[in-house]
């Protein structure tokens, strides 16, 4: 007789680009699972009531969009949290919300792991996200088999807040790189040099990167099918600026990139890939 302990039940909150694919991998990993998202999904594991989903779950994994979404849903399910449950935040949120989740989970005696991630639509599809895991060592060890259903690497970082800061400041480089690439592509196009020639010139250069390899060709052809949306990169940029402000630092580079992204967002392009920022610089 197989006496191994049954796997914990998982509720996945947020079925966007990442959460929908993570939910598939978690189910494939054998975890009994329930999903919830603001808009109904045609999935057999979909539960329309977030409280029912949270009540049934041992582990709650949150892939919601932003501070507003996370706080709103957290406050709805908070009364159901208890020492028997674990809340994992995978959304990229800000400083204040990270501290809020730490304090509120502690108040309910619920284990809390802050595990934002790197890796986009393709990595989520390949179950190869990389988690920046900030929380107790024992908790991370206990959750490792579960986190491995969606990831290629679990990087332990010093604290929940460190996970948020590391995630946001790596995205700072991503947003700034795409802005630099957009400006470079525009200057080349205006001087009659094709995008392919510019991208070939970048390849052997020290400035080459996986990100440029990913985004350069799609920007050159105007393919903005979202892997990471402009509205999501914009909110991250705002959270980065908040981090800088809290440290009394000036960060004019990302402040300007945020302003440029805001302009495209105001034109209704928020759900396109964030590399649509290129349009802000294309020679008119
Ligand atoms: N995509 C990436 O490459 C990537 C990489 C690293 C980190 N992240 C972070 O991971 C998180 C999820 O990313 P994603 O790309 O999957 O985002 P997404 O496609 O924009 O999905 C966002 C999810 O949040 C829900 N949502 C949005 N506003 C809400 C609200 N006010 N109340 C309740 N639910 C709300 C959406 O629900 P409905 O769809 O049902 O409306 C959807 O399930 C974000 O924090 C993002 O910054 C993403």
Could you write out the three-class secondary structure of 170-230? HHHHHHHHHHHHHHHHHHHHHCCCCHHHHHHHHCCCCCCCHHHHHHHHHHHHCCCCCCCEH
Within 6-133, strands assigned E span: 10-13, 33-36, 59-62, 86-89, 111-114, 117-118, 129-133
> Are 254 and 198 within one domain?
yes
> Are 96 and 120 within one domain?
yes
For ligand 1, atom 42, the nearest C-alpha belongs to 16
Q: List the CATH number of the domain containing 82.
A: 3.40.50.720
The tally of domains found in the chain comes to 2
| CA of 121 relative to ligand 1 center, distance in Å | 12
Q: Is 19 in the pocket of ligand 1 (CB under 6 A)?
A: yes
> Are 183 and 231 within one domain?
yes
Q: How far apart are CA 102 and CA 154, in angstroms?
A: 20
| CA of 226 relative to ligand 1 center, distance in Å | 12
The boundaries of the domain holding residue 176 are 164-280
pLDDT, one tens digit per residue, over 15-24 is 999 999 999 9
| CA of 216 relative to ligand 1 center, distance in Å | 24
Q: Which of 137, 157, 177 is the last residue of a domain?
A: 157
Q: Report the pLDDT value the prediction gives residue 176, as an integer from 0 to 100.
A: 98
Q: Which of 124, 157, 190 is the last residue of a domain?
A: 157
> Are 136 and 168 within one domain?
no
Give the mutation target among 13, 35, 47, 65 for probing the ligand 1 site: most ligand atoms within 8 A of CB.
65
Asked whether residue 125 is assigned to any structural domain, the reply reads: yes
Q: Is 4 in the pocket of ligand 1 (CB under 6 A)?
A: no
Asked whether residue 276 is assigned to any structural domain, the reply reads: yes
> Are 103 and 219 within one domain?
no
For ligand 1, atom 1, the nearest C-alpha belongs to 228
Asked whether residue 4 is assigned to any structural domain, the reply reads: no
Assigned token pair, 130: 């990389």
Q: How far apart are CA 106 and CA 111, in angstroms?
A: 7
Q: Which of 101, 135, 157 is the last residue of a domain?
A: 157
Residues of the chain short of pLDDT 70, as ranges, are 1-3, 283-284
> Are 133 and 220 within one domain?
no
Q: Is 91 in the pocket of ligand 1 (CB under 6 A)?
A: yes
Q: Is 259 in the pocket of ligand 1 (CB under 6 A)?
A: no
Q: How far apart are CA 207 and CA 262, in angstroms?
A: 26
For ligand 1, atom 45, the nearest C-alpha belongs to 91
Q: Report the pLDDT value the prediction gives residue 131, as an integer from 0 to 100.
A: 98
For ligand 1, atom 30, the nearest C-alpha belongs to 69
Q: Report the pLDDT value the prediction gives residue 5, as an integer from 0 to 100.
A: 85
Ligand 1 atom with least separation from CA of 93: 45
């Amino acid at each position: 007789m197989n006496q191994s302990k049954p796997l914990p039940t998982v509720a996945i909150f947020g079925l966007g680009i990442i959460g929908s694919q993570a939910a598939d991998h978690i189910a494939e990993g054998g975890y009994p699972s329930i999903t919830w998202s603001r808009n109904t999904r045609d999935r057999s594991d979909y539960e329309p009531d977030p409280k029912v989903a949270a009540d049934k779950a041992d582990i709650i994994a949150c892939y919601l969009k932003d501070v507003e979404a996370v706080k709103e849903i957290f406050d709805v399910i908070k009364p159901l949290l208890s020492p028997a449950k674990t809340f994992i935040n995978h959304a990229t949120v800000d400083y204040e919300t990270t501290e809020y989740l730490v304090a509120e989970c502690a108040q309910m005696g619920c284990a809390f792991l802050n595990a934002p991630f790197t890796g986009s639509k393709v990595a989520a599809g390949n179950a190869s996200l990389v988690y920046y895991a900030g929380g107790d060592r024992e908790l991370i060890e206990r959750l490792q088999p579960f986190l491995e259903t969606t990831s290629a690497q679990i990087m332990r970082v010093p604290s929940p807040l460190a996970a948020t800061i590391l995630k946001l400041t790596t995205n700072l480089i991503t947003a700034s790189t795409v802005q630099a690439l957009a400006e470079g592509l525009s200057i080349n196009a205006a001087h009659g040099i094709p995008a392919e020639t510019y991208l070939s010139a970048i390849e052997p250069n020290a400035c080459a990167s996986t990100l440029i390899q990913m985004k350069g060709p799609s920007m050159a052809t105007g393919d903005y099918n979202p892997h990471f949306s402009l509205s999501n990169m914009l909110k991250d940029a705002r959270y980065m600026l908040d981090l800088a402000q809290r440290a009394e630092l000036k960060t004019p580079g990302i402040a300007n990139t945020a302003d440029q992204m805001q302009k495209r967002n105001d034109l209704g392009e928020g759900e396109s890939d964030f590399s649509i920022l290129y349009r802000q610089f294309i020679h008119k």
